[in-house]
Structure 1
């Protein structure tokens, strides 16, 4: 089963299941997206802009109700700090806070 890589702007369980989450390098994330393709479930423009740069892809903001399938991998942009309630950060603010990429796989 060759499912596209889902792109998320947070480590969110999109449906019931068992998930594995680990850090992933930018290079490994780029290789996975290149090999499997991707589907954007990014709900914020600044996140889409950052992922476009780091993955060398044209990632669009795409607010959808996405359900990750068993065996499907997601690449997640996870901020290093939780922003204040109600905040909508721009790209510069996100880069100032810092972020890591995570790989999130739905196991069952």
Structure 2
């Protein structure tokens, strides 16, 4: 299974590998695989839809990765204030990376 996450989180105990990827790599993985959005913030879903040229749904769900599962991770490089929620304009002004998280075991 491939997931799309709005933060680098470990969803269960296990062994994982996490590395930075490009926007083009993320697009390729998501276009070639059926994926589940676990993007829990509406502005992030809109931002990622534009960035990745895909329809990314706002879907505030908890997931539990299994061995072999992948997640494309949107990682804000700014620590937000407690309870702070960004709108699309604020989100566009923040630095971020994309990563791929794989559950190895």
Query: What TM-score, normalized to structure 1?
Result: 0.92
Q: Aligned equivalents of 1:95 and 1:21: distance in 2?
A: 24
Superposed, 1:81-100 pairs within 5 Å as 81-100=78-97
Q: Aligned equivalents of 1:101 and 1:95: distance in 2?
A: 14
* Cα-Cα RMSD: 1.0
Q: Which 4+ runs in 1 deviate beyond 4 A?
A: none
Superposed, 1:33-52 pairs within 5 Å as 33-52=30-49
Deviation at 1:34, TM superposition (A): 1.0
Q: Aligned equivalents of 1:49 and 1:98: distance in 2?
A: 16
Superposed, 1:13-32 pairs within 5 Å as 13-32=10-29
Deviation at 1:36, TM superposition (A): 1.1
Paired residues, what number?
Answer: 105
Query: What TM-score, normalized to structure 2?
Result: 0.94
What whole-Å deviation, never above 9, does each CA across 1:69-108 have from its counterpart, x for those lacking one?
Answer: 1111100110011111110111211221221111111111
Query: 1:10 maps to which residue?
Result: 7
Other structure's SS at 1:30 match: helix
Other structure's SS at 2:93 match: helix
